[in-house]
Homo-oligomer: A and B are copies of this chain.
């Protein structure tokens, strides 16, 4: 049976082992990535033709852009139920991200005649990476593109690697265009990241790249940081479930397994004040495991799982704050009253009917969240990521006169003579 541990009995080493969970490593992929980016910079067309030669001869660069016809076809091909589901999810995601927007501009008079303020502007152009491969994640298009559009980004483009027949899957084309992508390019990995960062192969240069991907795509995203802005690198998904035994163990067992089915490196932590519930969950999880469609993945990721019994919910919350999980589910009575004790988490799921799976898709919150403990420093993706802020100031002559002794004294101390003169000549 799955091991059940007691939180208070954990050794420092075991606690650290749980807290310092997996992260993706880019070391193995980085040197090859840099080589590809170098070739791309020297000869973008030559490099992509070489890369695509095995499955697309005589490539025309204009063919990299998904055509109107392909998008129309995708809309005819996509499953009607899925289309409707994506539309509902998009409405909630749009509404929640609209609620995030703060003051577009403001100013304050700091002292008579000294006005200082700030204006908020959207980035001009954003590139979104949408992974290809066998699995498709249309929810990812919505989560990455909608916040940019809500923030007011005029131009959102997307890149996704083509599959069979040099096409991109209809689910990706439909979700990306529904969310607001104005054009989609059949590019993956370093070829996509390099083209968006530098403006190669007909892809316009963007101010920021967001979106998940394989370790290859992420290594390339990190490699172009500085040339353009990027979102934070995402690690394996993780969920931390706190229970007081008031929920049903079968709910929580599926939540626990749902976290683990993401990725062989995913992690799930379950902490409960009820020893009985811990046992029930461990037993049920064990029983369900062989029946799961993603059994192989869960068998791998379960090594990163922990089932813990604790004395009080405060102990559980303390441990959660140290762990700083991507997803924190509070399956407790009166969950809202515990929200104020959460210090480090990506997103919090309150009560019996708010499982993590709802937030992954359709509750409106973003599923792009800090992993691996990054929730101590970072926030999940939001409209903030697509806005920049410009400060401004305006002083009257009198205000400058009032401020002059201050400015000139500090400039003097810092040895900046011209700064001092720039004030003095105006008095």
Task: Give the CA-CA distance A114 to B353 in the complex, in Å.
Answer: 10
Residue A6, interface by CB 8 Å = no
Residue A59, interface by CB 8 Å = no
Q: Give per-residue flags for A335-361: 1 if the beta carbon is below 8 A from chain B beta carbons, else 0.
A: 110010011011111111111111111
B384 touches A391 (CB 8 A): no
Report B-chain residues with C-beta under 8 Å of the C-beta of A394: 335-336, 350-351, 354
Give the number of copies in the complex.
2
B357 touches A419 (CB 8 A): yes
Task: Give the CA-CA distance A79 to B409 in the complex, in Å.
Answer: 10
CB closest chain-B residue, reference A424: B254
Interface-forming stretch among A60-68, A178-186, A306-314, A396-404?
A396-404
**Given A261-B417, A393-B349, do A102 and B103 touch, yes or no (CB 8 Å)?**
yes
Question: Chain B nearest CB: distance from A246 CB in Å?
Answer: 14
Report B-chain residues with C-beta under 8 Å of the C-beta of A423: 355, 357-358
Q: Told that A171-B413, A347-B391, A353-B395 touch, could you supply 4 new A-B pairs with CB distance under 8 A?
A: A96-B116, A257-B421, A358-B395, A361-B410
Name 8 A/B residue pairs within 8 A (Cβ), A-sorted.
A89-B406, A123-B376, A257-B418, A292-B418, A294-B418, A354-B395, A364-B393, A384-B384
Q: Which chain A residues have a beta carbon within 8 Å of chain B's beta carbons?
A: 79, 81-82, 84-86, 88-89, 92, 95-96, 99-100, 102-103, 106, 108, 110-111, 114, 116, 118-119, 121, 123-124, 135-139, 171, 207-208, 226, 228-229, 233, 248, 250-251, 254-255, 257-258, 260-262, 292-294, 298, 335-336, 339, 342-343, 345-366, 374-380, 382, 384, 388-397, 399-400, 403, 405-407, 409-411, 413-423, 425-426
